[in-house]
Amino acid sequence: MTEERIGVYVCHCGTNIAGTVDVEEVSKWAGEKLKKDGVVVSRDYKFMCSSLGQELIQADIKEKSLNRVVVAACSPHLHEKTFRTACQKADMNPYLCEMVSIREQVSWVHTDKRVATEKAKALISGGVLRVAKDEPLEAIHVPINPATLIVGAGIAGIQAALEIADSGFPVYLVERDSSIGGHMAQFDKTFPTLDCAACILTPKMVDAGDHPNITLLTLSEIEQVDGYVGNFTVTIRKGARYVKEDVCTGCGICIEKCPIKVIDTNFEAGLGYRKAIYRNFPQAIPKYPAIDTEHCTYFLHGKCKACQLFCPTQPNSIDFEQQDEVIRIEVGNIILATGYDLFNSRRIPQYGYGRLANVFTSLEFERMCNAAGPTEGRVFLRDGITQPKTVGIIHCVGSRDKHYNNYCSVICCMQSLKFAHLVKERTGAEVYEFYIDMRTAFKDYDEFYQRVLQEGVNFIRGRVAEATDAARLPGEEGKLIIQAEDTLIGKQRRIPVDMVILSAGLEPRADSEEVAKKFGISCSSNGFFIEKHPKLDPISTLTEGIFIAGACQGPKDIPASVTQGAAAAARVLGRIQSKELALEPIRASVIEERCSGCRICNDLCPFNAITFNEELNVTNINQALCQGCGTCVAACPSGAISGTQFSDEQILAQLDGILSLPINSGKVKTLESVPA
Amino acid sequence: METNLQTSRTPTFYDEVIRDTPGGDPNLEMCIQCGTCGGSCPSGADMDHTPRNLFAMINAGMKEDVLRSNSPWYCVSCYYCMVRCPQEIHITDIMYTLKRMAIKEGLYRESSASEAPGFSETFIHYVENYGRSFELGLATWHHLRYHPINAIRMASTMGLELLRKGRMDLTPTRIKNMPQLKKILKKAKAIGGTT
Amino acid sequence: MKYGYYPGCSLERNAIAYQQSTMAIAKPLGIEFIEVEDWNCCGATEYFAIDALAAYALVGRNLALASQQKLNGDRNQLVAPCSACFLNLYKTDHYMAEDNKLNANVNEALAAGGLHYDPGTVKVRHLLDIIVNDIGYEAIAERVTKPLFNLRVAPYYGCMIVRPASIESFDNPEYPTSLDKLTHSLGAEVVDFPLKAHCCGGHMTQISENTALELIRRLLKNAADYDADMIVTLCPMCQLNLDAYQENVNKHFGTNFHIPVLYFTQLMGLAFGLSANNLGLGKEFINAKPALDKISSEPLKKQRRKKRPPKETLPMPTMPEES
Ligand code: SF4
Ligand code: SF4
Ligand code: SF4
Ligand code: SF4
């Protein structure tokens, strides 16, 4: 075995590190004291990640014949790739380069320079002993199946599907509802330009429906996901529609003839009705109706069949015998665009929703404004005939409140402004908006606020305390009274109105945890899917090959959802084009002789990488699925699982290094941490 | 012009309020000035500052103005603000703290609720000497002190009626082990503070 | 079922009707109340405004006595019928558990009287809580021999039984329904009373009567707007304010309210067929008799099937109610 020749590089990161750690001293110390451990050169530099910094390392590798490198700088999350690539370019195996985090783990969390400097030394010492044990590795290459699965056909999912399909690659677009379009299809106008949602959405829906590269699966749910990036196998249950898609012309006669009418809590948000055989809206894609078996009298009592009787096609399109279909597809990448659920306003009883007839949710109001909705776009009270003369709009319903959702739902301010405008336009009513903070960031949004101000809407800065029918004064009789503190004048106000609109917040889908689990990703404490990096990689997840787009990642409006859909598609296209993907070789592997077949590790793997070989009575780990998290390594009672790049030997060497310093022997007293 | 506004938060007053509010962190620093408390308060219309406003003043270090405010005294302990506050601030508990501080500093006398502490004190007088409260004594005493005319009216109508219906005693009841209670209260006062 | 019992000062006199009716219904419901011996006042809303530690120690003495006297074996449940007492006892126990320093200080004070209290040893509950949750609506309905048919009742909770909300709260802090359901199980017609958990004015009657009268007026007006024959309550302070101050409200605002205010235990007693004398009836300022005379022995014939709303009417929300 050749002797280790290690280079140590200590980064100042401007003052980020150098402000709290004496980097010069650390570097000098490493050069002298760690000579015995194989360090042949140690340097500090203002920005190691700059090209000059990288060239410094490369020159040393060549001139001083280094075969190992330790970079003490920021976190490997950020720059491990940079330094490994730099080493590789200098003909060193990139996996013989280790990073030691002296920024996130040292300078950013300590204030005492002396202590921080000692801690940096300890960590570097660990890094040096560890790198000596590193093995040269080769990246794992996996082929990428060019097909993509997109889950959720709202605007984000449709956008992603079109981008990929237009580039010539196959897409499976899976939607749970009977038609595509998501929440956007329910809206009337879109802020800030007030173009009609249908006018801009339907062309995209039609495209997605007709596209030769898009396979549209509606009324469908993902049952199971197997495989790994590049090679997923997905099982989909396509729910029975009871209408034959190959013969149905979408004429709609069946809907007309169906005798059963029920409240449509789905598309009409409870404000309108639909038949037991229904289509969400006239321009729905696909155009075929579906039977709602929970309400169809034939399914309930075995009688009726009116739809079948009147269906004009030959053969008849109605098929009561249709069964769910289980479909298995192979895809290389998956984009989740599962959207959001609306906050249940009944959780705030003091706003009266569900008790006071003329309190409406934002989604109900959207349907009311929609020309294809229950009132054909006219703004009425619950009686369906009276126009309101005064309307109150309440912001932040269920948002920014520790009892419900602790986050801002992002869209409600703009949505409320849009409502105010629509109320004015359609009824001329007096409008009051109650807000905590007016959040109109982004292009042309504040201009829209200006416009609504100009239209004479009344703005009251104060979160509404309650909306009630309990009149106190003569002017309040028969009205709904909104009570709030007008915080700008510091007085309580009671505004009698005819109609209240609750700008309800956006929530993660009720089953988001379940879905996350199916796809091997995770949810934040709020329940939205977690992205790989909140700023620099908001559309990737920590699981290779699974991307997220739209409101499933966090509340967002239409432009942002479209952007994410397109971005996720671009990422997938890149993968498809490169045909294969290099994966980090950091993997767990089973030392078969040691495995006792106890199966303790079998159910622990969060990436479902572990299978059991019944014949040999040993556990196997699929190298492409394994993400190197180490869960199984720690769990194995026989020590039979070893993590490449995380072997016991490596970890113990690193610990030896860290513990060899006085800081750990009680000589340097306290490491005072500052809270992050 | 004299002004109480300070450019930075006065740590002392702000911290005092937090320190003197028992029952865990009252989260005062989390107030986002949304006004839910002020909008919910049943006495809000009669307060010279809404609870929200008081918290902004505490934040600005306006100790005297805060302790001179009638707001804490108009608080009826309905806890509406507290259950509705989106930031889970212990508003009602802070109101109690402000009452105690106002008494300590003697500033309540300048508020328009100057008689409120008197009522509390009369109430406590009975509790400390009898171990029970005493409605008749309480009401008459309080009213004699602040509204002599009212006291007569009270005694003649509502009071008489309460007496007649057997809903009021002429003499207070005393608990048996009064010395024990006295010792406990004396000790509590000696320890002082709140928490 | 045995429970420790803390009546509180009001139930000794002003709310004697509450005390009598509670005792009267205890028997048919199989409840035995064992009073804490030598309990003292809970401090109401006043003591906390003057000296917090003394106030906690004052309440602490009651908790210490209750835990010492082991009123009902190991269950150590302490029932308070007055909302203010309930809240003070509950809160003291709860805050002592949350706040170590408070716990230490209260116990230091208690030690001066030879007492000690470990937070969590006594479980404080309101009378309504044990009646609806331990006995249950069905068991109550079974005891009803004289249903309160045709009596329109506005259930009034006030503040301190439902707020501040805690994990253990037995009802919604904004729109509680337990008393509604209880009243319903007695056969009465229940008014969906919007102000059911709003403030009765509390001690403002003593501090700023005008403020208090306005708060009381709001409640009375709302009950009248909803055609309530009476208000039913569960707190002595609420009862006193709404009942004894009703005449003052009328004088002050030129109104003409005559809405009797009874305790829920009194209504339960009547429905159980107990004699009015044992239920403290007649102690109220606004005579409840005319309202009680409305009770009919037969349920009113169900109003003819509600007319179908006109077809333009939009459906009411179907989002599920929070459980
Ligand atoms: S966008 Fe505005 S209204 Fe919506 S949650 Fe945020 S602050 Fe509230
Ligand atoms: S290290 Fe083990 S648990 Fe982790 S992904 Fe690999 S096989 Fe699964
Ligand atoms: S409700 Fe809470 S956050 Fe809002 S102003 Fe009041 S104290 Fe502040
Ligand atoms: S607890 Fe006090 S401050 Fe809060 S709403 Fe009630 S009366 Fe107002």
| CA distance linking residue B141 with residue C206, whole number of Å | 11
Say whether pLDDT at B156 is over 80: no
pLDDT confidence bin for B111, thresholds 50/70/90: confident
Residue that is written with structure tokens 């000596």 in the block: A132
Task: Answer yes or no: do A368 and A311 share one domain.
Answer: no
Domains of chain B: 10-110 (1.10.1060.10), 114-195 (no CATH)
* CATH of residue C253: 3.40.50.11810
**A55 contact partners, CB below 8 Å, separation of at least 6:** none
Task: Answer yes or no: do C166 and C270 share one domain.
Answer: yes
Task: Answer yes or no: do A315 and A365 share one domain.
Answer: no
Total domains in the fold of chain C: 2
Residue A373: give the domain boundaries: 342-507
Task: Answer yes or no: do C111 and C236 share one domain.
Answer: no
Cβ count within 10 A of residue B3: 6
Say whether pLDDT at C204 is over 80: yes
Lowest mean pLDDT among A453-457, A525-529, A563-567, C10-14: C10-14
pLDDT average, residue stretch C152-179:
90
* C contacts of A346 (beta carbons < 8 Å): 317, 319-322
Which runs of consecutive H residues, i.e. helices, occur in A211-282? Answer: 253-257
Residue-level pLDDT at B1: 40
Q: Which amino acid is at A374?
A: P
Task: Answer yes or no: do A320 and A365 share one domain.
Answer: no
pLDDT confidence bin for A666, thresholds 50/70/90: low
| CA distance linking residue A228 with residue A180, whole number of Å | 28
pLDDT tens per residue across span A509-527: 999 999 999 999 999 999 9
* A contacts of B38 (beta carbons < 8 Å): 462, 465, 485, 487, 490, 492
| CA distance linking residue C63 with residue B184, whole number of Å | 13
Q: Tell me the percentage of chain A whose pLDDT exceeds 70.
A: 97
Please list every protein residue whose CB sits less than 6 Å from any atom of ligand 4: B 37, 40-43, 51, 75-81, 91-92, 95
Task: Please provide the distance, in angstroms rounded to a whole number, between the alpha carbons at the two ends of chain B.
Answer: 39
Based on its alpha-carbon atoms, the radius of gyration of chain A, rounded to whole angstroms, reads 31
- Tokens at C271, concatenated: 């429905």
Residue that is written with structure tokens 């009298």 in the block: A297
Ligand 1 close to Cβ of residue A463 (< 6 A) = no
Among residues C64, C96, C128, the one where a domain terminates is: C128
Q: Is the peptide bond preceding residue A192 cis, with omega within 30 degrees of 0?
A: yes
Ligand 3 close to Cβ of residue B111 (< 6 A) = no
pLDDT tens per residue across span A278-337: 999 999 999 999 999 999 999 999 999 999 999 999 999 999 999 999 999 999 999 999
Residue-level pLDDT at B141: 60
Find the A413 Cα to ligand 1 centroid distance in Å.
5
- Tokens at B36, concatenated: 């839910």
Residue-level pLDDT at B149: 58
pLDDT average, residue stretch B19-36:
91
Secondary structure of residue C220 in the 3-state scheme: helix
Residue C132 DSSP label: I
pLDDT tens per residue across span C88-125: 999 999 999 989 999 999 999 999 999 999 999 999 99
Task: Please provide the distance, in angstroms rounded to a whole number, between the alpha carbons at the two ends of chain C.
Answer: 28
pLDDT average, residue stretch B100-128:
83
Could you tell me where the beta strands, DSSP code E, fall in A554-654?
A: 580-583, 588-590, 610-613, 618-621, 641-643
Ligand 3 close to Cβ of residue B34 (< 6 A) = yes
| CA distance linking residue B27 with residue B55, whole number of Å | 11
Task: Answer yes or no: do C110 and C223 share one domain.
Answer: no
Q: Is B42 on the interface with A (CB under 8 A)?
A: no
pLDDT tens per residue across span A11-52: 999 999 999 999 999 999 999 999 999 999 999 999 999 999
Ligand 1 close to Cβ of residue A437 (< 6 A) = yes
Mutate to test the pocket of ligand 2, among A542, A600, A604, A626 (most ligand atoms within 8 A of CB): A626
* CATH of residue A124: 3.40.50
pLDDT average, residue stretch A464-480:
96
Say whether pLDDT at C156 is over 50: yes
Among residues C94, C128, C162, the one where a domain terminates is: C128
Say whether pLDDT at A673 is over 60: no
Residue A435 DSSP label: E
C322 in a structural domain: no
Task: Answer yes or no: do A180 and A301 share one domain.
Answer: yes
Residue-level pLDDT at A366: 97
Mutate to test the pocket of ligand 2, among A140, A543, A589, A607 (most ligand atoms within 8 A of CB): A607
Count, in order, helices (H) and strands (E) of chain A: 16, 34
Residue-level pLDDT at B22: 85
Answer yes or no: are the C-beta atoms of C119 and C255 closer than 8 Å. Answer: no
Nearest ligand to the CA of A623 is: 2
Q: Tell me the percentage of chain A whose pLDDT exceeds 90.
A: 87
Secondary structure of residue A87 in the 3-state scheme: helix
Secondary structure of residue A183 in the 3-state scheme: helix
Task: Answer yes or no: do A282 and A411 share one domain.
Answer: no
| CA distance linking residue C227 with residue C315, whole number of Å | 26
Among residues A472, A507, A542, the one where a domain terminates is: A507
* Nearest to A556, CA basis, from A529, A518, A532: A529
Q: What is the dihedral of CA C217, C220, C225, C227, to 10 degrees?
A: -170
Task: Answer yes or no: do C187 and C222 share one domain.
Answer: yes
Task: Answer yes or no: do C295 and C225 share one domain.
Answer: yes
C82 in a structural domain: yes
Find the A403 Cα to ligand 3 centroid distance in Å.
13
Say whether pLDDT at C323 is over 50: no
| CA distance linking residue A394 with residue A500, whole number of Å | 7
pLDDT tens per residue across span A587-615: 898 999 999 999 999 888 877 889 999 99
* CATH of residue A439: 3.50.50.60
pLDDT confidence bin for B147, thresholds 50/70/90: low
Give the neighbours of chain B: at least 3 Cβ pairs within 8 Å.
Answer: A, C
Q: Is A674 on the interface with C (CB under 8 A)?
A: no
Residue-level pLDDT at A674: 37
Task: Answer yes or no: do C123 and C146 share one domain.
Answer: no
Task: Please provide the distance, in angstroms rounded to a whole number, between the alpha carbons at the two ends of chain A.
Answer: 44
Task: Answer yes or no: do A460 and A395 share one domain.
Answer: yes
A553 in a structural domain: no
Count, in order, helices (H) and strands (E) of chain B: 12, 0
Count, in order, helices (H) and strands (E) of chain C: 15, 9
Task: Answer yes or no: do C244 and C118 share one domain.
Answer: no
Say whether pLDDT at A675 is over 50: no
* CATH of residue A254: 3.50.50
Say whether pLDDT at A669 is over 50: no
Ligand 1 close to Cβ of residue A648 (< 6 A) = no
Task: Answer yes or no: do A412 and A273 share one domain.
Answer: no
Tell me whether residues A354 and C313 touch, CB distance under 8 A: no
pLDDT average, residue stretch C280-300:
92
Question: CA distances (Å), A467 to each of A354, C174, C261, in order?
Answer: 12, 12, 26
Residue-level pLDDT at C287: 96
Total domains in the fold of chain A: 4
Among residues C128, C162, C185, the one where a domain terminates is: C128
Which runs of consecutive H residues, i.e. helices, occur in chain C? Answer: 9-12, 16-29, 47-50, 52-69, 83-98, 100-112, 127-129, 137-143, 178-185, 204-207, 209-225, 236-244, 246-253, 264-271, 289-292
Query: Taking CA B168 as the corner, what is the angle to CA B147 and CA C159, rounded to the nearest 5 degrees?
Result: 80
Say whether pLDDT at A54 is over 60: yes
Say whether pLDDT at B47 is over 70: yes
pLDDT confidence bin for A437, thresholds 50/70/90: very high
Answer yes or no: are the C-beta atoms of C158 and C84 closer than 8 Å. Answer: no
A555 in a structural domain: no
Among residues A459, A479, A507, the one where a domain terminates is: A507
Task: Answer yes or no: do A256 and A318 share one domain.
Answer: yes
Ligand 1 close to Cβ of residue A506 (< 6 A) = no
* CATH of residue A621: 3.30.70.20
Task: Answer yes or no: do A436 and A477 share one domain.
Answer: yes
Q: Is the peptide bond preceding residue A289 cis, with omega within 30 degrees of 0?
A: no
pLDDT confidence bin for A670, thresholds 50/70/90: very low
pLDDT average, residue stretch A212-222:
97
* Nearest to A209, CA basis, from A161, A262, A271, A150: A161
A556 in a structural domain: no
C194 in a structural domain: yes
C57 in a structural domain: yes
Q: Is B160 on the interface with C (CB under 8 A)?
A: no
Secondary structure of residue C126 in the 3-state scheme: strand
Tell me whether residues B39 and A465 touch, CB distance under 8 A: yes
Residue-level pLDDT at A165: 98
Tell me whether residues A270 and C315 touch, CB distance under 8 A: yes
C154 in a structural domain: yes
| CA distance linking residue C50 with residue B103, whole number of Å | 7
Please list every protein residue whose CB sits less than 6 Å from any atom of ligand 2: A 588, 604-605, 607, 609-610, 621, 626-632
Across the beta sheet with A464-468, what order do the strands follow? A464-468, A480-486, A491-497
| CA distance linking residue C225 with residue C227, whole number of Å | 5
Q: Which atom of ligand 2 is nearest to the CA of A628?
A: 1
Q: Indicate left, alpha or beta for B32 from its phi (over 0: left) and psi (-120 to 50: alpha).
A: alpha
Residue-level pLDDT at A161: 98
User: For residue A21, which phi and psi values (nearest 5 degrees)?
Assistant: -120, 135
- Tokens at A249, concatenated: 């012309």
Task: Answer yes or no: do A196 and A336 share one domain.
Answer: yes
Residue-level pLDDT at C39: 95
Lowest mean pLDDT among B91-100, B176-185, C295-304: C295-304
Q: Indicate left, alpha or beta for C6 from its phi (over 0: left) and psi (-120 to 50: alpha).
A: beta
Say whether pLDDT at B155 is over 60: no
| CA distance linking residue C23 with residue C278, whole number of Å | 9
Residue C284: give the domain boundaries: 137-313
Task: Answer yes or no: do A307 and A194 share one domain.
Answer: yes
Taking CB atoms and an 8 Å cut-off, how many pairs form between chains A and B?
65
Report the sign of the C-alpha dihedral through residues B87, B92, B93, B97, in that order.
positive
pLDDT average, residue stretch A539-550:
95
Q: Which of B81, B84, B85 to mutate to test the interface with A (most CBs of A within 10 A)?
A: B84
* Nearest to A133, CA basis, from A657, A590, A653: A653
Cβ count within 10 A of residue A657: 24
| CA distance linking residue A342 with residue A509, whole number of Å | 9
Secondary structure of residue A422 in the 3-state scheme: helix
Task: Answer yes or no: do A269 and A355 share one domain.
Answer: no
Answer yes or no: are the C-beta atoms of B71 and B51 closer than 8 Å. Answer: yes
Kindly identify which residue of chain C lies nearest to residue B174, measuring between CA atoms: C40
Interface ipTM > 0.85: yes
Q: How far is A270 from chain C (nearest CA, A)?
A: 6
Say whether pLDDT at A182 is over 60: yes
pLDDT tens per residue across span C33-46: 999 999 999 988 88
Three-state secondary structure string covering A130-152: HHHHCCCCCCEEEECCCCEEEEC
| CA distance linking residue A523 with residue A530, whole number of Å | 5
- Tokens at A196, concatenated: 């009609």
Find the A591 Cα to ligand 2 centroid distance in Å.
14
Q: Rounded mean pLDDT of chain A?
A: 94
C58 in a structural domain: yes
- Tokens at B54, concatenated: 């008081």
* B contacts of C38 (beta carbons < 8 Å): 175-177
Kindly identify which residue of chain C lies nearest to residue A469, measuring between CA atoms: C194
Residue-level pLDDT at A25: 95
Report the sign of the C-alpha dihedral through residues A505, A506, A507, A509, in that order.
positive
pLDDT average, residue stretch C62-66:
95
Which runs of consecutive H residues, i.e. helices, occur in A470-527? Answer: 512-519
Cβ count within 10 A of residue A635: 15
Q: Is A323 on the interface with C (CB under 8 A)?
A: no
Residues paired with residue A642 on neighbouring β-strands, in sequence order: A589
Task: Answer yes or no: do C161 and C309 share one domain.
Answer: yes
pLDDT confidence bin for A410, thresholds 50/70/90: very high
Q: Is B86 on the interface with A (CB under 8 A)?
A: yes
C323 in a structural domain: no
Q: Is A238 on the interface with C (CB under 8 A)?
A: no
Task: Answer yes or no: do C64 and C172 share one domain.
Answer: no
The length of chain C, given as a count of residues: 323
* CATH of residue C30: 1.20.1050.140
pLDDT confidence bin for C49, thresholds 50/70/90: confident
pLDDT confidence bin for C321, thresholds 50/70/90: low
Question: CA distances (Å), B51 to each of A226, A440, A508, B190, C151, in order?
Answer: 57, 28, 34, 31, 40
* Nearest to C8, CA basis, from C68, C90, C76, C74: C90
Residue-level pLDDT at A483: 98
- Tokens at A443, concatenated: 């292009």
Residues paired with residue A233 on neighbouring β-strands, in sequence order: A226, A330
Task: Answer yes or no: do C118 and C167 share one domain.
Answer: no
Tell me whether residues C318 and A270 touch, CB distance under 8 A: yes
Give the neighbours of chain A: at least 3 Cβ pairs within 8 Å.
Answer: B, C
Q: Is A366 on the interface with C (CB under 8 A)?
A: no
